[in-house]
Every structure is written in structure tokens, then in C-alpha cells.
Structure 1
């Protein structure tokens, strides 16, 4: 009789294949070419951090939460994303569960693809996302313009993503990187931000924390954000483990820096309940990872470089302008025009 862990792993793999891999991993190459280290390669901190899918997903949820504290990002999502629920084309202020699932699926494919995919795969993903960003422009209701190509926005967005991924890893991974090892992850991840057009990016845990807090005068809890968080999620249609659910909303707000928790009006439960929640989440995330193991894409990447790498991965890359051909063809193929930001 198969063990409970094997049953859980099989169910997870079937669900991941049906809901994520078959929809969002199309055209991504992890098995070849032989010897290609991709952007990071074996032994990198990125390979280690991203191999734990449950904490990676939680980190993306946390990143999505904190980035939305920027009013411009709230309106970008409201105007350009399927994340906002709409009735007869009019946003209701609620989160669309299917839109949230699409956004999460694209995010997972991007951060798995850039970590473990071939060099060509990682570069194509980055070009596609840059092309999507290039279409996100508009005006907020208060008259201020927003532009996803704005260097200041790119820096904020980058800091929120690397903060979310690293914080979820540090808090909930069974054997997390810490200190200088964790800073190595922050430093390596700069390559992703630069490929998406970012410049002057923070490269350590302390620098990212300072960067995030420096944006505080620009941040606000807009009605869009307020309607989709905290007590307002009591009637959420999302399942507990999905973005937009009350539990995942708590997990994201619980990871926020203290200043962001105050901005989001986060009231933690009593210390006993808080410890129980965090411990339960730690156990659940690691049990899922231990039973399912790393994704096949990670194992394919390991096999690709098992005989050695042809060349060492480059530490960073200069941003390239979005390819105008990709702006329509590849973005539409990836459904990114309606999916929202991959982060």
C-alpha cells in the first residue's frame, strides 16, 4: 500500500501538472542544452531557495501584498489585470480567484524558468515580461500617471519581490540560508531585476529593507487594497491555501516589516495563537515539500549540468530594451496582457 507521503506527492504533482505546468510552462526548456548552467547554475543560492516550491509560492504572495501598498501598482492591477473581479466589465473591489490563479501561475513559471531554465529560456522569459510591462501605462484617478517602465517603479517592484521570496525562505524553510549565505541570494537575484530593466538595485538583505522603507512617504492603503485584505476577506471565494483567502492574507501580512504592518492595520493574534499559526504553516509547507520533493524541472536542470558546465553563469546582465515584436506576439502567447505583473 502506498504511503501517505507518496499519495500526497502524487496528488500534488497531478494538480501542479494540470493547473500550472500544462498552462504556464509551455516552451520552457530545462533539459538542454547539456552543460548550460542557465543564469545561476548548480551551487547557487537561487537554485537552493527556489527548489522549495511551497515557500517560493508563499514568498510570491507576500511580495504581491507589499507591492500593492504603492497606489500606482494598485491602479495598474485594477486597470490592466485579471486579478480584479469584474461584473459586466466593472471592477467590484474583490479578487477574482481565477485571475489570482493565472497571475500566480505566470509568476511560478517565471521564477522557476529563470532559476532552472536554459540561458535562452531565462532570457526569453525576461524579454516577455519586459514587453508586458511596456504596455502597462495609464493615469490614476487622482491624475498622476503611472508607467511600468519607470525606473523608480522597477526598483520598488524588484525590492518587493526579492524581499518576499527571501523572507518566506528565511522564516519557513526547514534549513534556511542566513547571514552571508542569504545575502548571496539577494546578490545573485539582482540579475533578474536587471534583466527586467531595473537599475541601482539593492543587493543585500539590509539594502532591500532600507529600500522598501524609503518608499514609505509614497505608499498608501488605497480602497482597492483595503477591500481585498483583512476582515474584508471573510466572504472570500478563495480556498484557504490560495491567494485572496483569509489565511494567505494573514500569512502575507504577518511577514511584513513592522512599518508595513502598521500601514496595513495588521493586528497580530495573541502570542500563543500566533506561534501556533506560524508553526502549523511551517509544518505544512515543509511536509508538502518533503513528500513531493523538488519539481521535475529542477531535476532536469541538475541532469543538464551533471557532467559539468560549459561556462560559469554571468553574475549580472545589462537591461535590454523590450523587443517591439515581442510586445504583441510573445506577450499574447503568454496571456500576460491580461494576467497582471508576474510578481
Structure 2
């Protein structure tokens, strides 16, 4: 088949357009992120490999959000300073765009994106219901957001893209992503999987769930009908995200996937992943 026939395949084109629309706000003039040879990471990096798979990144992104919301400080920042009730998809889209820009775009665009996020964080501060002060630029809070994202993205990629991934490459991924976490001000930063596991374990005593956590989780897993993620792929990504959570995190959220449903969720997500890879190949 010729190159023109491959690129003109209407099914491929429709899938690509749908995915591009999900992750780029056309009303805001956002164009798809273009890969650059002058990116923060080289094309041979593990980050390019892990972050290039749409289906696993969607599942990993949802898992990371569910983990992040278990920290009272992160939850308060979302609750007090965002319109998540009306635009949960927007939060997911902005996270995806940040990851894509800092992984693939020209270094200048990536650095500008990091500066913009730090500037936004400057205004995210307040008090928890018990009166404890919080601020989004707290290095420990940033470290929790960083480790939950990297851990979830990597686990999703291993499950749906590269189950044979070596431990050396897994450690390399955390070491690479420490560049982004450090630029955002996170501390401490895991540079191996073992360090990431220890950081998550050490944070567990501070984690909890309440009615606000439940509302955010509900909106993540059951987006409103007008949301582009409200179709079957979005609901499937939500279930795949829950499946990626550690058992203790599912317990805190009150989520317990059915043993009979889990194989169907994994098979369905793998099918979506293969379809997306075919469409973008």
C-alpha cells in the first residue's frame, strides 16, 4: 500500500482526529505538540517511549489523579482553586499537554511551560478544613504529585505496552523524569523505582479520604455526558486507572473492582491501545 493510501485511510484519520481533539483545546488555539530534536529528552530516552502511548497514558493519568487526591493538601488545592466540577476533562487535558510538551517539544517551549506552571502554583495556597496551611509550591506536595504521576504512567506502560521492560529501563525513566520534577521544585525526587516505592510508602500515613475526595473521584471516573471522555474509551480508561491503583489506595477510595470484570477491563484497554497505535502508526 502506498504512503498516500495509508495516510488517507478514513478510519485511521477519524481516530486520530478524535484523539487530537481530546488533548488540544481548539477554542484556545492549541495546536498538537510537535516532536523536536532539541527536546529536553532525546528520542532514545525511556520517557519518549513511555509517554507516546495514548491509551496507557490515559489510564496512568487517571490512576495518578486518584492517588494525588488522597493527600489533603493536593485535594484542597484542586477543591479551592479550580473549576474541576465543570471541567475535569480540562484538568486531564492540561496534564497530558504538560507531559507532551516537556517530553517532546522544543526545549524553549518545555521550559516556558514549566515556568507557567510554577507561576500558577504561586497563587494556589490556603488552609485545610482543620486550619493547616498549604501551598501548591510546597516541595513535599510537588514530590507527591511527581511520584504518583511517574509511578502510574510507568506501571500503565508496562501493563499495556511493554510488560518485559527491564528494571534498568524503569530506573532510567525515574532518573529522566527527575529533571522535570526538579525544575518544578519537587523534593525529594525518586531516581529509581525503589526510591519511588519508598516515597509512596512514606507518604501513606498522611493520606486519607473524605466526602470531598469521593466527589472528585466520582467526577474523574464518571465524567458528565458532554465530556469527550464520557464515551466507552473514557469509561474504560477510568476502570483501567482504578485497576492500576495499589490495593490500599483502592480501599481508601472505597473502590473494589470485580475479579470477573478486571480481565475484561485489561483486555478492552489493550484492544483500545492497539487500535490507537495502529491509527497513529
Q: TM-score range by the shorter chain?
A: 0.7 to 0.9
Aligned equivalents of 2:125 and 2:47: distance in 1?
Answer: 31
Aligned mate of 1:111, from 68, 76, 99: 99
Aligned equivalents of 1:212 and 1:178: distance in 2?
Answer: 21
Deviation per residue, 1:287-309 (Å, 9 max, x gap)? 2222223xxxxxxxxxxxxxxxx
Deviation per residue, 1:73-129 (Å, 9 max, x gap)? 11211111121x2xxxxxxxxxx3xx1221122112111111111111111111111
Aligned: 1:132 with 2:120: yes
Does structure 2 retain, via aligned residues, the 8 Å contact 1:29–1:121?
A: no
Aligned mate of 2:185, from 176, 189, 197: 197
Q: How many residues align?
A: 272
Aligned mate of 1:256, from 231, 237, 245: 245
Higher helix share: 2
Gaps of 5+ in 2: none
Does structure 1 retain, via aligned residues, the 8 Å contact 2:58–2:237?
A: no
RMSD: 2.8
TM-score under structure 1 length normalisation: 0.71
Following TM superposition, by how much is the alpha carbon of 1:285 offset from its aligned partner in structure 2, in angstroms? 1.6
Residue correspondence of structure 1 range 8-23 to structure 2 within 5 A: 8-21=11-24, 22=26
Give the 3 Å change call, closer, same or farther, for CA 31–262 of structure 1 in structure 2.
Answer: closer
Aligned equivalents of 1:233 and 1:17: distance in 2?
Answer: 21
Aligned to 2:269: 281
Does structure 1 retain, via aligned residues, the 8 Å contact 2:63–2:242?
A: yes
Deviation per residue, 1:54-90 (Å, 9 max, x gap)? 212221111111100112211211111121x2xxxxx
Give the 3 Å change call, closer, same or farther, for CA 259–45 of structure 1 in structure 2.
Answer: same
Give the 3 Å change call, closer, same or farther, for CA 141–200 of structure 1 in structure 2.
Answer: closer
Residue correspondence of structure 1 range 77-88 to structure 2 within 5 A: 77-83=78-84, 85=85
Counterpart secondary structure, 2:9: helix
Residue correspondence of structure 1 range 185-264 to structure 2 within 5 A: 185-229=173-217, 237=225, 239-241=230-232, 245=235, 247-264=236-253
Gaps of 5+ in 1: 86-95, 294-343
Residue correspondence of structure 1 range 61-210 to structure 2 within 5 A: 61-83=62-84, 85=85, 96=86, 99-173=87-161, 177-210=165-198
Aligned equivalents of 1:65 and 1:265: distance in 2?
Answer: 12
Aligned equivalents of 2:98 and 2:221: distance in 1?
Answer: 28
Aligned to 2:46: 45
Does structure 1 retain, via aligned residues, the 8 Å contact 2:55–2:269?
A: no
Aligned to 1:6: 9
Misfit runs of 4+, over 6 Å: 230-235
Following TM superposition, by how much is the alpha carbon of 1:41 offset from its aligned partner in structure 2, in angstroms? 1.0
Following TM superposition, by how much is the alpha carbon of 1:31 offset from its aligned partner in structure 2, in angstroms? 6.3
- The structure whose RCO (Cα within 8 Å, separation 6+) is larger is 1
Counterpart secondary structure, 1:131: helix
Following TM superposition, by how much is the alpha carbon of 1:37 offset from its aligned partner in structure 2, in angstroms? 2.9
Give the 3 Å change call, closer, same or farther, for CA 222–240 of structure 1 in structure 2.
Answer: farther
Aligned equivalents of 2:118 and 2:45: distance in 1?
Answer: 25
Does structure 1 retain, via aligned residues, the 8 Å contact 2:16–2:279?
A: no
Aligned to 1:328: none
Aligned equivalents of 2:250 and 2:47: distance in 1?
Answer: 27
Give the 3 Å change call, closer, same or farther, for CA 289–176 of structure 1 in structure 2.
Answer: farther
Following TM superposition, by how much is the alpha carbon of 1:240 offset from its aligned partner in structure 2, in angstroms? 3.9
Higher Rg: 1
Aligned equivalents of 1:108 and 1:128: distance in 2?
Answer: 15
Give the 3 Å change call, closer, same or farther, for CA 176–136 of structure 1 in structure 2.
Answer: farther
